[in-house]
Chains A and B, each alone.
Chain A
């Protein structure tokens, strides 16, 4: 392929930009990923996989809780679960957030949700359900690590958990059984919402971080020189 001199200069400039970026990206993964792209993609895939996993888990768990929680149109008012991180935020507000903030919020939310979920696991009556919940917890733990990896790849610091504010699951005596089940219901609901939201976030981030296809081509061709 013959290239004109003008193109060559453009490619060289682009290559320099890319090469400039490479050392700036900190080592985020133990495998030494070349950039945040793959880890963002992986995080995106993981959120979708967790969405899929949660669908079956939630179905099983709601069945375990029994009616009315397993009814499709059951939509109770949100009561006594204020401690759960809310996934439902104003679109405008959310759009105004930058990547770092969004990632931080994701990380914090899943840290909390994971904590509550572990409490759920301890409550679960059947071994099968416990196993499913444990696996989901592990996966969620993986998502947390994945988000942390992405943040590290992008050079964002991990949010430090405030001492004493570590969310712990404590069965309050004030909670009736029904209200407890309501909490569980909302926990799963919030998880679903968060995963859905995270999937969108990571998809956007993925697209954002993906170098333009031409640049990649140029990069490869430049190496050919």
Chain B
């Protein structure tokens, strides 16, 4: 393709650079040589000769010639102007090229024009072909091949030439794609020598290989023989006769054969000795074969003298040798099964089928004989490989023979000892190890002569019972491998029992793995005990089904959440391990890996937290602390007890006992002996008005103010000329507060030891007359006041008193906070806070108002201010008030018109008098 393109280009050049005037296309110049194949490394010179006509037309001479190689101008150093019309260019040491060389002229000093071009191709002459050899495939034509030698980079033809002394044969031209071989076009003529050689030729040269002279029959590769039959012999079970047909040349040349055979399952071939098959033949009897075995044969041939080539192998053919009697007695063993009947044993005799190479045919049946000492023979013919018989406890001798169509095997003899037989003499140094993918068992023979050994094995598993397989070994053997389908990573329990003439010896056991693997599960670790700085880990041994090998050791990995992992190796015999140097109050993650020889497996991770305190540490702290506290308390109590007088003096001020007081001493108008007696008081009460106010015991009225008020009262009392009476006891620790007594009639009978009674000695005016001077008098008693609930009958008494006779009504004011709140849910916040802060005043005022409302007419309840203003007048309306009007300074007054009416607090107003409740 490339060559074609370059020629087109060249033609185009010539076309363009020719004068087309006239009838012929004449190029303006010529290059000699026209085209050139140049040997790589040689020198090359081209000459461009201008034509006179061109020179005249374009006014050019050889001086105006310049050369180009593939559009690149060649350096003028390489030019030589030979004469006026000719210029030459020389290239030294030509490399590997394939270029276009053009001769150009420069016209009029500036116009360049190509006038002629040639192609230069470089390459190498062919090398002499070497290693010429020929082969004649039978019934085909001769094929010869050779080595080319170096690459020529040029089109090179290879021709195989052949001739006889008297005649030349047609040349064989090698194809371009297979230049190293050629198959001649004529059939070979055997037994006549032929001379063959190869000629290689290209533009740079021609070279012939060495001539070889041979008879084509010496280069023949025959067709493979065809096996006709493989026959066995009834007389001889160890032979097979092979017959075949082979080349038609067998009639006039001598052939030799190569016969190979193998058993059907084998992969390697056995060779029939070559000297046995070194002449032409069409059959061969192969000997020393195993009976009743299928053999496969193949055959090839070549010329007897070794000239030529072996044929291909024939197609394989197979035949089976004839049967022979079993060559070996079967392996024979027994198992005593538990029997219920007394005096008999159930014995299972078992044997192995003979392998084909020992059975030497199809086993038809087995014959078992049982002989008890000096008794008759028992015969059994069995087709199975086991027989269960009931035997007495005596010693028995069992024999076993296998039978095929040709004959019987030798007998296997087995002694079944009496039931009380004591097995002895076990094998020693029993070892089991895997090697070459089988499990080997090795032992040292006992000192006693051993007839044979029985090896039994089974898979140890928790899931399935031990189903033993077994095999028998000769008494001389002390090393064998288990011929069963063993599985990797299963634990095998192997038992070796020596069998002596009088019965079996003691069995020996060993465990082994065909191939260990890493456990399929890791051990599950857990804590047995966790201490402040240590933890006792425990785990269970892995079940045998997951062990997959002998557990060699364990590794415990433990770490904190942030810490590095620490690994501890533990021997496989342990199931417990104590981790020490742990940090207290820390979460630990621990896992455990079990390792066999082949690797390990991690178990699940277990976390535990070490406690902050060691066991008993808390107790050690808490108990002394508690004891110390108790001791302190006890000491305190004792101290208090010892110093109780002092404490009492400080805490409980010496309160005078009202019962022991004599009012007469500070109020001479009132005989003290009548004070406590109601019956006695009323008759004398004409001029004394006593009002009683009950005060809550838990009132938080500050004590100092109480004292202040007390002082004030005292002062007033001093200033007051009227009568007063203070009755009541005070309990320890309770605080009392001053209260303002109303002007209502007091009832001295109510004042028990738990109430303080405030008495106001009023010089009351009569009816609408307000006394000018108000005198308060307070009892010094701080005895707690009784709740009104304690004496509900008192309230009733008020009404009764109020509505009945003209005797001075008794008035009791009770705390009614709860009822107040319930009945006025819409009370404003301000009002409420006010109410809370001045509850006692409210109590007082409320009661007062209630009292008022009992007596005043409707219009009085209409307005607060009015009500407030009317307060002084109320006293005037109060029935039973005999001239004594209580003057009090109202701080907040709740106007209670009636039940269900809105209640409100009035702003604090300090009226004359200067008392302001807190």
Among candidates B166, B189, B193, B213, residue contacting A148 with C-beta atoms closer than 8 Å: B166
Does B77 sit within 8 A of A, measured CB to CB? no
List the A residue with the shortest CB-CB distance to B187.
Answer: A135
Top 3 closest A-B pairs, CB basis? A142-B192, A46-B191, A48-B252
Contact A142 B191 (CB under 8 A): yes
Residues in A with CB closer than 8 Å to B253 are 45
Residues in A with CB closer than 8 Å to B215 are 42
**A146 to B167 CA separation, bound complex (whole angstroms):** 12
Contact B251 A145 (CB under 8 A): no
Q: Contacts A30-B195, A43-B191, A46-B191; is A138 near B166 (CB within 8 Å)?
A: no
Residues in B with CB closer than 8 Å to A148 are 165-166
Does A29 sit within 8 A of B, measured CB to CB? yes
Does A49 sit within 8 A of B, measured CB to CB? yes
Interface string of B156-195 (1 = CB under 8 A from A): 0000000011110000000000000000001101111101
Contact A42 B191 (CB under 8 A): yes
Among candidates A31, A49, A131, A145, residue contacting B167 with C-beta atoms closer than 8 Å: A145
Taking CB atoms and an 8 Å cut-off, the chain A residues in 7-60 that contact chain B are 29-31, 42-43, 45-46, 48-49, 52
Interface centre among A29, A52, A142, by most chain B C-beta atoms within 10 angstroms, is A142
Contact A139 B252 (CB under 8 A): no
**A148 to B165 CA separation, bound complex (whole angstroms):** 10
Contact B251 A138 (CB under 8 A): no
Among candidates A48, A52, A145, residue contacting B166 with C-beta atoms closer than 8 Å: A145
Contact A30 B193 (CB under 8 A): yes
Residues in A with CB closer than 8 Å to B165 are 29-30, 145, 148-149
The B interface is mostly helix, strand or loop, or mixed, namely loop
Does A193 sit within 8 A of B, measured CB to CB? no
Q: Contacts A30-B213, A31-B213; is A49 near B190 (CB within 8 Å)?
A: yes
List the B residue with the shortest CB-CB distance to A39.
Answer: B193
User: How near does chain B come to A166, taking the closest CB pair, in angstroms?
Assistant: 16
Contact B166 A46 (CB under 8 A): no
Among candidates A31, A48, A142, residue contacting B189 with C-beta atoms closer than 8 Å: A142
Residues in A with CB closer than 8 Å to B189 are 135, 138-139, 141-142
Contact B190 A29 (CB under 8 A): no
Residues in A with CB closer than 8 Å to B192 are 42, 46, 139, 142-143, 145-146
Does A144 sit within 8 A of B, measured CB to CB? yes
**A45 to B191 CA separation, bound complex (whole angstroms):** 7
Q: Contact residues of A with B, CB < 8 Å?
A: 29-31, 42-43, 45-46, 48-49, 52, 131, 135, 138-139, 141-146, 148-149
Among candidates B186, B187, B195, B252, residue contacting A49 with C-beta atoms closer than 8 Å: B252
**A48 to B165 CA separation, bound complex (whole angstroms):** 21
A–B complex contacts, Cβ < 8 Å, 30 sampled: A29-B165, A29-B193, A30-B193, A30-B195, A30-B213, A31-B193, A42-B192, A42-B193, A42-B215, A43-B191, A45-B190, A45-B217, A45-B253, A46-B191, A46-B192, A49-B190, A49-B191, A49-B252, A135-B186, A135-B187, A138-B186, A139-B189, A139-B190, A139-B192, A141-B164, A142-B164, A142-B192, A145-B164, A145-B165, A148-B165
Residues in A with CB closer than 8 Å to B248 are 52
Residues in A with CB closer than 8 Å to B195 are 30
User: How near does chain A come to B220, taking the closest CB pair, in angstroms?
Assistant: 12
Contact B190 A46 (CB under 8 A): yes
**A146 to B215 CA separation, bound complex (whole angstroms):** 12
Residues in B with CB closer than 8 Å to A144 are 166
List the B residue with the shortest CB-CB distance to A141.
Answer: B167
User: How near does chain B come to A29, taking the closest CB pair, in angstroms?
Assistant: 7
Residues in B with CB closer than 8 Å to A30 are 165, 193, 195, 213
User: How near does chain B come to A65, taking the closest CB pair, in angstroms?
Assistant: 23
**A30 to B215 CA separation, bound complex (whole angstroms):** 12
Residues in A with CB closer than 8 Å to B252 are 45, 48-49, 52
Residues in A with CB closer than 8 Å to B166 are 141, 144-145, 148
Taking CB atoms and an 8 Å cut-off, the chain B residues in 661-707 that contact chain A are none
List the B residue with the shortest CB-CB distance to A28.
Answer: B165
User: How near does chain B come to A150, taking the closest CB pair, in angstroms?
Assistant: 12
Contact B187 A146 (CB under 8 A): no
Contact A146 B251 (CB under 8 A): no
List the A residue with the shortest CB-CB distance to B252.
Answer: A48
**A46 to B215 CA separation, bound complex (whole angstroms):** 11
**A131 to B253 CA separation, bound complex (whole angstroms):** 24
User: How near does chain A come to B247, taking the closest CB pair, in angstroms?
Assistant: 11
List the A residue with the shortest CB-CB distance to B249.
Answer: A49
List the B residue with the shortest CB-CB distance to A145.
Answer: B166
User: How near does chain B come to A210, taking the closest CB pair, in angstroms?
Assistant: 16
**A81 to B518 CA separation, bound complex (whole angstroms):** 98
Residues in B with CB closer than 8 Å to A42 are 191-193, 215
Sample of 12 more A-B contacts, CB < 8 Å, known A31-B213, A145-B167, A148-B166: A30-B165, A45-B191, A52-B252, A135-B186, A141-B166, A142-B192, A144-B166, A145-B164, A145-B166, A145-B192, A146-B192, A148-B165
List the B residue with the shortest CB-CB distance to A29.
Answer: B193
List the A residue with the shortest CB-CB distance to B169.
Answer: A138
Interface string of B213-228 (1 = CB under 8 A from A): 1010100000000000
User: How near does chain B come to A58, taking the closest CB pair, in angstroms?
Assistant: 16
**A139 to B191 CA separation, bound complex (whole angstroms):** 9
List the A residue with the shortest CB-CB distance to B215.
Answer: A42
List the B residue with the shortest CB-CB distance to A32.
Answer: B213
Interface string of B281-316 (1 = CB under 8 A from A): 000000000000000000000000000000000000
Residues in B with CB closer than 8 Å to A145 are 164-167, 192
**A142 to B192 CA separation, bound complex (whole angstroms):** 6
List the A residue with the shortest CB-CB distance to B217.
Answer: A45
**A139 to B187 CA separation, bound complex (whole angstroms):** 10
List the B residue with the shortest CB-CB distance to A132.
Answer: B187
Interface string of B573-587 (1 = CB under 8 A from A): 000000000000000
**A131 to B164 CA separation, bound complex (whole angstroms):** 20
**A48 to B190 CA separation, bound complex (whole angstroms):** 11
**A145 to B215 CA separation, bound complex (whole angstroms):** 13
**A43 to B252 CA separation, bound complex (whole angstroms):** 12
User: How near does chain B come to A26, taking the closest CB pair, in angstroms?
Assistant: 14
Interface centre among B165, B217, B248, by most chain A C-beta atoms within 10 angstroms, is B165
Residues in A with CB closer than 8 Å to B164 are 141-142, 145
User: How near does chain B come to A107, taking the closest CB pair, in angstroms?
Assistant: 12
Residues in A with CB closer than 8 Å to B191 are 42-43, 45-46, 49, 142, 146
**A42 to B252 CA separation, bound complex (whole angstroms):** 11
User: How near does chain A come to B398, taking the closest CB pair, in angstroms?
Assistant: 67
Residues in B with CB closer than 8 Å to A143 are 192
Residues in B with CB closer than 8 Å to A142 are 164, 189, 191-192
